[in-house]
Chains A and B, each alone.
Chain A
Amino acid sequence: MTEKLVIIGAGMASGRALEELLKQAPDAYDVTLFNAEPRGNYDRIMLSPVLSGDKKFDDIIIHTSDWYEENGVTCRFGEKVAKVDRERKVVIAENGDEVPYDKLLFGTGSNPFIIPLPGHDLEGVIAYRDLEDTNRMIALGEKPDAKAVVIGGGLLGLEAAAGLKLRGVDVTVVHIMGHLMERQLDEAAGYLLRKALLDKGIKVMCSANSKEIVGEDGHVKALMLDDGTELPCDLLVMAVGIRPNVALAGDAGLSVGRGIHVDDQMITSDENILAVGECVEHDGNIFGLVAPLYDQAKVVAKTLIGEEATFVQREISTKLKVTGCDLFSAGDFAEGDTREDIVFRDPARGVYKRLVLEDNKIVGAVMYGDTADSNWFFGMIKSGEDISEMRETLIFGPAFQGGAPLDPMAAVAALPDDAEICGCNGISKGEIVSAINDGATDLAAVRAVTKASGSCGTCTGLVEQVLGVTLGDDFVIPAAQGMCNCTDLSHEDVRRMIKSQELKSMAAVMQECGWKTSCGCHSCRPALNFYLLADWPLEYQDDPQSRFVNERNHANIQKDGTYSVVPRMWGGITTPDELRAIADAADKYNVPTVKVTGGQRIDLLGVKKEDLPAMWYDLNQAGMVSGHAYSKGLRTVKTCVGKDHCRFGTQDSTGLGIKLEKLLWGSWTPHKVKLGVSGCPRNCAEATCKDIGIVCVDSGYEVSVGGAAGMDVRETELLAKVATEEEAIALTTAFMQIYRENAKYLDRAYKWVAKVGLDWVKEQIVDDLAQRAELVERFELSQTIYRKDPWAEQATPEYNRKKWQPMADLSLEAAE
């Protein structure tokens, strides 16, 4: 008979234990999972990127409701376990429900510690532990001139402060010790970190003692320090440490100390009860980072299925997930008589590295500013390798041992198989290499098979380098690093250079940014061409040779080398004359297929290249222009019939769609842009899955952005509701321009919005009316050049139509 397993707490540790268990013995247990939080297991570590706007909560869910359902786990989320009756082997939920168990697993995590200062129970004093806390901080960012104080200059406090700052909040960090992250960093590294945070506009006060939290009407108003300083704030985040959550276990009579006591098999003082995660105490230690918890989870699964396994504590390392603050720390770096230091500093670059040696072994490492070699050092700490031979050059990292070149790939290649790559999941280089050899040939696959880089994500670059080293040319390290093989600069870097250095030609970009190839490649040239024409519409001359064939030939190439021709039908409206002209063109040029597209217009497919200019000329004569069905630019504006005809229509959706299409057409964008305008919330134009969608309502227009219905199906998110058609048009135009000026080439609007955060976009174009007007003006300026029909230009008799023909015809030369 299947036994009953009850798990208390759906956190990261118990979640991993459950995965391991289901992988090894899917049918061994009937599982019931309680969680006090009203949701299942998510990547708590990644709350910081959610806070900063880099990710959405949906992106960090580890187990979806489908996953629980497929695996037959009975979920009781939002329900706290109130009591465990070990005698009767039942757990009792808060509502009195009793659930019997054969085996019970505690995964209750820890509670954030709240310093019992006067005023600590005021509204607006929060910890940083879960989604609710994160959302509170995000909400603060919506408030103009918001202020926050973070007590605690450790990992969590600094991530909270950095996130709040990115949300536009004025933040002060109050830290009791003399330097930041004192448990992980020495003073010098702490100093550099503080400097970097100050540069980001975060205020940092060290050696500062909090005395009292002052409130007003029950809500926090300020923090008082014991030297009398008053720091006004609307939110106070306490991130001063965690305490294992042991209350329930203690009440049930289990042996607890700082945490729930467990043995090497993760069994508590009751043989039927196990514990895992931050709630446990093992061999006198408690835990606060996921790497050891995942090791515990493996042991829990084995123990539950009756197999032998032992939890062994290992060295852990720390990284901070704050952009621009590269730091690493591992091992023990306290000074001592038997210890020696090797220190390297490069003040100009803000680099500091320190190795602590004892008995010719590295026992600790701290690095700031350049952490590229951290894994190698960490490996040496763990292996305890004798370094006397390489002492002279040790601090310069693996690249200098044995004369290997100074290149990150070589450094990764030099790592031994047991070097740890993913700290969170304890995955070594060897494990990744064998996964790759077994067919996991991209990042996603490696992540799926080994979990490497799936938690905090800081090792993503390294995993990619392992892929690179293992697969050679078969693996192209993704663009996040460099745009392509021609440069190590990322798209973002290059865009910044183009703007700040006023680079106005492709040659200037390639020279100033040190391109490694003579004239780029098929992936950087189209991107550069777009960046240049978007940033310098008047100065830069569009380069057809840097465009993909479709944009060069103004038609979509087909698999057999013929083309398709799609004329614009403004807002999906056509006339009998236009239809006749299309029919005539189809006849005259022997078009094999005429199709109604998904974008409310007509596609003539299978046209020969030589015929294109003549066909365009004919269509131009009937008043039609290119539909840009091929461009990274404005595609269609889909409309519904609206209030002229429909009994539910609230506004003239067709008219607005046509106005928008006439305004926006011809503009080039980072990826294609599609619009939809619906006359009422029934949304027949499917506006809410377009890049920009407008839904008309009685009181005005709901303008929403970031939809798509291709490889990803996304619903738009509301940008703003406006009262007049003019405002809807201005907002749409401003969105087009801000997207053109900022997005990475080939990021569709939804991807870009997810990166910068919708709130940021709102600040720029909804709240800031002056900025909106400037964007519209810059768009208009660009349109003076680009709002034109590329067909008309190429179809005129003056235009050199020869380019569409072969340059020579030798097929008539006599064969010998």
Chain B
Amino acid sequence: MSDWIDIGALDDIPQRGARLVKTQLGCVAVFRTAEDRVFAMDDTCPHKKGPLSEGIVHGESVTCPLHNWVFDMNTGQAQGADEGQVATYDIDVRDGRILLDVNRLSARSAA
């Protein structure tokens, strides 16, 4: 079951950019691609905790600003030789508003 929360307008995020959403479990990075697709993942890089929201967004991937690991935003999976995965969250855009599924975010906090 999904639990959608409005976190803001699509235009709050620059194209090929990201903004943060603070949660009890830490920051979630919300990305917007050049084609206006939106993705949400944990902000913290599994390598050395680099802030992924500060990375360069290209295609549907983002490059961590600290040591250039590249993550596929669809899966959160590190690309190429690097191994690691970031948790991703369901997200949707309706009428220019961004909706985040906080179900898993709160389910984890409850556990």
Contact = CB atoms under 8 A, between A and B. Distances in A.
B81 A808 contact: no
Contacts of A559: 48, 66
B54 A557 contact: yes
A545 B66 contact: no
Contacts, number: 104
A483 to B, nearest CB: 13
A255 to B, nearest CB: 59
Given A520-B58, A806-B22, A810-B105, A545 B15 contact: yes
Interface in B1-41: 5, 7-8, 12-17, 19-24, 27, 30, 33-35
B16 A807 contact: no
Contacts of A473: 80-81
A724 interface: no
A691 B81 CA distance: 35
A553 B12 CA distance: 17
A576 B110 CA distance: 54
Contact of B56 (A474, A548, A561, A808): A548
A544 interface: yes
B76 interface: no
B22 A810 contact: yes
A518 B109 CA distance: 38
Interface in B51-76: 51, 54-59, 61, 63, 65-66, 68, 70
Contacts of A769: none
A813 interface: yes
A19 B102 CA distance: 66
A519 B21 contact: no
Nearest to B35: A518
Contacts of B34: 518-519
Contacts of A517: 58-59
Interface string A555-583: 00101110000000000000000000000
B20 A519 contact: no
Nearest to A474: B81
Main secondary structure of the interface of B (DSSP, over half): mixed
Contact of A522 (B17, B27, B55, B109): B55
- Scoring A544, A547, A548 by chain B CB atoms within 10 A of each residue's CB, the highest score goes to A548
Main secondary structure of the interface of A (DSSP, over half): loop
A747 B13 CA distance: 33
Interface residues of B, number: 44
A803 B35 CA distance: 21
A348 interface: no
Interface residues of A, number: 33
A522 B70 contact: yes
Interface string A510-523: 00000001111110
A811 to B, nearest CB: 5
Contacts of B8: 807-808
Contact of A816 (B59, B61, B63, B106): B106
B22 A811 contact: yes
Nearest to B5: A810
B62 to A, nearest CB: 9
B14 to A, nearest CB: 6
Interface string A780-816: 0000000000000000000000110011111101011
A808 B109 contact: no
Interface in A498-528: 517-522, 525-526
B50 interface: yes
Contact of A525 (B58, B61, B106, B109): B58
A811 B23 contact: yes
Contact of B24 (A474, A549, A810): A810
Contacts of A522: 55-56, 58, 63, 68, 70
B94 interface: no
B68 A807 contact: no
A766 B98 CA distance: 58
18 contacts: A474-B80, A518-B35, A521-B70, A522-B58, A557-B54, A561-B49, A806-B20, A807-B19, A808-B22, A810-B7, A810-B22, A810-B24, A810-B102, A815-B24, A815-B109, A815-B110, A816-B107, A816-B110
Interface of B: 5, 7-8, 12-17, 19-24, 27, 30, 33-35, 48-51, 54-59, 61, 63, 65-66, 68, 70, 80-81, 102, 105-107, 109-110
